[in-house]
A and B are shown apart, each in its own frame.
Chain A
Amino acid sequence: MKRAVLAGAACAALALCVVGAGVRPAFDARALGAFVRGVFPPDLSPPFLQVVGLAVARTLGIAVAGTALSVLGGLPLGILATPSLFRRGPLLAGERPGPLSALLAGTSLAARALLRFLRAVPDLVWALLFVVGFGLGPLPGALALGVSSAGILGRVYADLFEGVPPGPVVALHAAGASRMQVFAAAVWPQAAPSVAAYTLYSFECCVRAAAVLGFVGAGGIGGEINLSMRLFEYGQVLTLLLAFVVLVLLTDTASRRLRGRFQRNAVHGSGLLRGAVEGGVARRTPAVLWLVVAALAFQQAGFLGIAAPGLLGHFGRFARQLFPPDLSTAFLASLVEPLWQTVSISVVGTAIGIGLGGVLALPATATLLLDPRDVPGPVGRAARLLAYSASRLVLALLRSIPELVWVLLCILAVGLGPFAGALALGLHTAGVLGKLYAETLEEVPDGPVEELRAAGATRPQRLLWAMWPQAREMLLGYTLLRWETNLRVSTVVGLVGGGGLGLALYNNVQLGFYPRAATLVLLIYLLVSVTDWLSDRLRKPVASAEAPPASAMELISAASGNPAAP
């Protein structure tokens, strides 16, 4: 009875969301056909390739500078936010509570709250505000990335510091070391390899994010894609997309290799610096070269502009105009519809992702398709291999194009508005979830599967009765995490024409109604926080079995939309 009521409520909510996201069968094959025809051949003329090259360099520059800033901001905040250093645990056991320790505990809580705020507001929103506040060019993009990934990194760092094996910490403390001595001698050395690995991973995410910041005027590949779309130069769009995919693949590969070494070092307990110095890449590449790369990156990111006299004053003047946020009832009432649209976009987008991802995940599961004992003859084997590779390829393609680029493409197919946003979210989500689903199914313990096989069960029976029950909770956990991410993204799809709160934010910023923009930023923060909390509650039974670093990994991959966490 209770289940029926719950199911009914869920169906009603989904129906509301389908209406809110403006789902309709409208699909314009003609417009899409024109786009597809326009896309080929990609524009490979030398002058345009030069534009692409500069855009790639600038995107990379924004990502490097943004990552550097996020470490600068995230590390101190992360240390402050570590509970065992300032708020509870054996380190504080011997201390008498005094005003100083109360102040430290309060600062620590404030740091946590600040980190939460920084990461709950999407990077594109930061970029929009910074573009207006700091002026034109790529500098606002780097700052926006720095601020939003500082929020993520700070939290991950705090989790890593909190999760180090307590033995050395307690021993040092017992020997009378101060908190900072304990941190420097016991916490940091143990956590450093993981810190380095997550920072590199965060860099990968920054590259993806930097590519779309241009949509709100922060330069780089996104700006060029936007411009080429507006000029109806679809061949250029394809070239830019290809360049983006290559850039992402290269950074992912390079960063994964580096990360692998940090993690190997982590096993032996060697420190960050030793790891880097011993590393092959670092040894082969002179330090000067790295410095040059960093300097170029900061130059590309327009960072020298930060030294401009009065820049902070300008931003301060802009920031003051945001206050007090407009909380008039008339304005708040006007936000109900965009809010509903945003939630709907995230729900419908996730639903599309579950459906499409689920369908693609089955042929992408090696244990289902490629088990040599199942396959009837060489032709069947070839066919299955083909189906497997094709579905993996489609999933990779869906996933490699960022949601906001999908929005631009979906607008061509279904027109402007929330449905384009939902569809775009759905396509990207399908790529992410499909891969996660397939990998989860591949990794279920094979005992029960083999038992069923021995009893003569067919493949669908084994899937339904052995693999599904074992994978169900993991699949549910991944899906909820993805919904959390999608909600964050659904607040910004409106910035490029996908409807919802993003559109309201964009319009109010453009009109100079800054107090209203501030209200919208607060609303987005609240919405994201509530969703995180809700999704956490729903996932509790799943997550409880996992170790603490897994939650850090989830956090970072959920926030970045990239499931391939270290």
Chain B
Amino acid sequence: MAHRLAALLVLSLAACKPQATATTLRVSMIPTTDPSKAIREMEPLIDYLSNKAGAKVEMTIPTNYAAVVEALVNDQLDVAFLGGFTYVQASKRAGVKPLVQRDRDREFHSKFVTQPGSPIQSLADLKGHSFAFGDVNSTSGHLMPEYFMRQANVDPSVIAKAIYTGGHDATLLAVANGKVDAGALDEAVFQRLTTTAKVDPATVRVFWTTPAFLDYVWVARKGLDAKISGAVANAFLALDDSDPKQKRILEALSAKKYVPAEDASYDKLRQAAEQAGLLW
């Protein structure tokens, strides 16, 4: 909770000093990826990054993907954690540079869920049922599930009539409560919500898991001093779970280790976004 407080304080400070000085690094994380961890256990990461990058880290937790992309376009942010699709948008519009990602982000999956007693056993069974995506801008909650549904020739009206819940958590809740027949969400959020019993695991059933795709990535804005972005990248790459302090950070980020990220690996995702008419 103190971290939420810290985020607020930092936000108001950020408002006073909007321009990065040599010693300030403006960082943002999108909370829709995994809200509770991002917000509650951020302090160690802030301290760690400040230390390694030799700069004061100002962390903002925006609730609006578009605002983050615009902030990167406008040099209002230096480093940001983006979903795969947001990255593709931001690289096109703001020329951001990929830095690092979790090893799991290179092989990410979405879970398709329904109620335990529902007749839905495969993508083909979705015909005639209601379906929920998460935020329209989410890679694992919308873009890739829709892409794989199209690949599998799921009845287009399922996609056309799908609702957007605005978040992975809301999707799972809507399915668990029987508000929609099925939905797709981020595997990491699914895991967290069911293991912490925020959503009763007995109320949902996974009926399909997507093939692997690329998702989340840390990026630097175009024009950020290569020394600073290099230091940030190295800080993440150096995280080691044998150190108890760093282990806490890795756990907060649902990560085991970080690997370098490259733009070329996002070509398939880019193509999927263009096909779905989501990129301009």
Contacts and interface: CB of A to CB of B under 8 A. Distances in A.
Contacts of A509: 66
A332 interface: no
A416 interface: yes
Given A28-B178, A132-B70, A232-B198, A139 B15 contact: yes
B170 A497 contact: yes
Interface in A514-562: none
Interface stretch (B42-50, B159-167, B205-213, B226-234): B159-167
Contacts of A132: 64, 66-67, 70
Contact size range, A: 35 or more
B157 interface: no
B74 A135 contact: yes
Contacts of B76: 135-136, 314
B63 A226 contact: yes
A164 B54 CA distance: 64
Given A28-B177, A45-B1, A415-B177, A51 B16 contact: no
Nearest to B70: A132
A136 B71 contact: yes
A327 to B, nearest CB: 16
Chain A interface, DSSP helix/strand/loop, else mixed: helix
B2 interface: yes
B137 A510 contact: yes
- With a 10 A CB-CB cut-off, give which of A137, A227, A503, A510 has the most chain B CB atoms: A510
Given A31-B177, A314-B76, A217 B15 contact: no
Given A28-B177, A28-B178, A511-B278, A311 B62 contact: no
B216 interface: no
Interface in A488-516: 496-497, 503, 506-507, 509-513
Given A136-B62, A299-B12, A416-B165, A512 B1 contact: no
Given A58-B8, A512-B93, A416 B66 contact: no
B135 interface: yes
A137 B35 contact: no
Interface string A379-398: 00000000000000000000
Contact of B167 (A48, A230, A314, A417): A230
A31 B170 CA distance: 13
Interface in B1-52: 1-2, 4-5, 8-9, 11-12, 14-16, 18-19, 28, 31, 35-36, 39
- With a 10 A CB-CB cut-off, give which of B18, B69, B137 has the most chain A CB atoms: B18
Given A299-B16, A300-B12, A497-B166, 13 more contacts: A31-B177, A137-B15, A230-B169, A302-B11, A308-B19, A314-B70, A415-B179, A415-B180, A416-B179, A417-B163, A503-B164, A510-B135, A512-B66
Interface of A: 26, 28, 30-31, 45, 47-48, 50-51, 54-55, 58, 128, 131-133, 135-139, 216-217, 219, 223, 226-227, 230-232, 299-300, 302-305, 308-311, 314, 317-318, 414-417, 496-497, 503, 506-507, 509-513
19 contacts: A45-B1, A54-B5, A133-B70, A135-B74, A136-B64, A136-B67, A136-B71, A138-B11, A216-B63, A230-B35, A304-B15, A305-B14, A310-B75, A496-B166, A503-B164, A507-B164, A510-B136, A511-B136, A511-B278
Interface of B: 1-2, 4-5, 8-9, 11-12, 14-16, 18-19, 28, 31, 35-36, 39, 60, 62-71, 73-76, 89, 93, 132, 135-137, 163-167, 169-170, 173-174, 177-180, 198, 278, 280
7 pairs of A and B residues whose beta carbons are closest in the complex? A415-B179, A302-B15, A308-B18, A305-B15, A217-B64, A47-B1, A314-B74
